[in-house]
Amino acid sequence: MKPTWLIYLISLLLSGPGCSHAQSPKLGLFTGHQDIGKVHQPGAARYDARTHQYHMAGSGYNVWFDHDEFQFMYKPINGDFILYARAALLGNGVDPHRKVGWMVRSSLDTNSAHINAVVHGDGLTSLQYRPTTGANTQEIRATITHADVIQLERKGTTYTMRVAKFGEPFVTQQVTDLALGEQVYVGLFISSHNKDVLEQGVFRDVRISVPAPESLVPYRQYLASNLEILDVTTGTRQLIYTNPNSIQAPNWTPDGKTLLYNSQGLMYRFDLAKRTPKVLPTGAVTNNNNDHVLSFDGQLLGLSSGVSERGGSVIYTVPVRGGTPTLITPQGPSYLHGWSPDKRHLVFTGSRQDEYDIYRVPSAGGPEVRLTQAKGLDDGPEYSPDGQYIYFNSARTGTMQLYRMKADGSEQQALTNGEYQDWFPHVSPDGKWLVFLSFLKEEVKADDHPFYKHVYLRLLPVSGQGQPRVIAYVYGGQGTINTPSWSPDSRRVAFISNTAEGSLSLVEQ
């Protein structure tokens, strides 16, 4: 046993070996941890509040056949859920079939019915399940190996495993008609596949989300919201604020100190140092939606706000600290998405004669100029920092894709190829990258961008060259990243994820 591993194990054991059932900050999202079965080497588990990671050590002969031996960090949950983590086994290990992943069990008994999404030491990635108490475990293997992103979700008696090598899309396997009970134990686990050996694993970006019920009425009923910050290079996510209401579309101020978002028709300034929101006053304009954008210099905020007598959403501008808004587009629907770098123009999505296109208008108000003519929805226009291009998304081919055109509307060209429904390209302040939202084709139509779906945040060079890389796997959609949300240094992005129960989100300090 290496000295570094010995020190690591001692720190884990000091955090509380064996069984812990009480809610403890040492366990993060979970309420207990214990060894399942008659293990020879006691395991341990802890949550590191500094790194927001979960560390586990476990032994056990296996998770297989008619009974199991492993270390389990768990939480009882009722109903449907989505479990997400980036997971890794540490060190070279002893047995190639040591394993780490998510597990759902009917009980804490060694022979309990269960299902798990697991990655083995040799890279085998699979969905394993025991359909009834004491039955032999069955397995469905994924089409990839060495996954480090593991998601396991339940909808009724259907369990879906989504796994990926970070940066790549999910691959999926599913088990139906698996009745584990209304209340189950869900959690992270590790097994050494050798009763005399302790293996170690680490989990990060751990999330437990409760999805929207089938009965949810879109745009009338909402889920709770998590405000998160994503490191674009590493993909590490930091959850900084939760709200039981719908908060949407964070904008980052140029000084890096504040995020602006909308919630229940109002605008808010969120102080990143104090982690507190404060209403941004917008006078009588109190039906603001998630199409709001800061000018490049951060002095003015453009708003989109619903006014029924003007035909829907119209556009205003207001000082960034608040004040009396100035009406820019007297006709709706008009949804703002971008300022020109020189602050002279706004670009927006407008519906005129039952066709949604992209328009430009002087930021002080004046005649509109139509920039796109293609049939099908054009949306999400945003200027590049040098003012030469406008990036946008369009369903003109039947699938929502990203496009680029010159600032005068000429030379329109596609940047993505149709694998997903791609929305809202946002250009990094250094002008090098696009971050955008991708819906799954099997879940969402080309001309829709609904709440509460499986979505990716993806990254692509502004040229459109190369294959987009997944940088976040999110339960969200509408409101997640509708408007520019890059940090001023082009290193991070703010976004919104969702859950029906905010209590399952652990805010990181």
pLDDT digits 0-9 by tens, 243-258: 999 999 999 999 999 9
Q: What is the pLDDT of residues 447-476, one digit of tens each?
A: 999 999 999 999 999 999 999 999 999 999
The reported pLDDT for the residue numbered 502 is 66
Q: Cα separations (Å) of 463 from 262, 467, 481, 483, 488?
A: 31, 11, 21, 20, 21
Q: What is the pLDDT of residues 32-84, one digit of tens each?
A: 999 999 999 999 999 999 999 999 999 999 999 999 999 999 999 999 999 99
Sheet bearing 171-175, strands edge to edge: 44-48, 53-58, 199-209, 81-89, 149-155, 158-164, 171-175
Burial of 354 (0-12, 13-18, 19+ CB in 10 A): exposed
pLDDT band at 1; cut points 50, 70, 90: very low
Query: 27 by DSSP, 3-state: which?
Result: helix
Q: What is the pLDDT of residues 150-186, one digit of tens each?
A: 999 999 999 999 999 999 999 999 999 999 999 999 9
Model pTM score: 0.94
pLDDT band at 134; cut points 50, 70, 90: very high
pLDDT at 6 over 50: no
Which domains, from first to last, does the chain contain? Answer: 3-209 (2.60.120.200), 225-504 (2.120.10.30)
Give percent above pLDDT 90 in the chain. 93
The reported pLDDT for the residue numbered 143 is 98
Which residues are within 8 A (CB) of 102 and not within 5 positions of it... i.e. 6 or more apart? 83, 85, 116, 117, 118, 150, 151, 152, 186, 187, 188, 189
What's the whole-number average pLDDT of the chain?
A: 94
Sheet bearing 266-271, strands edge to edge: 247-252, 258-263, 266-271, 276-280
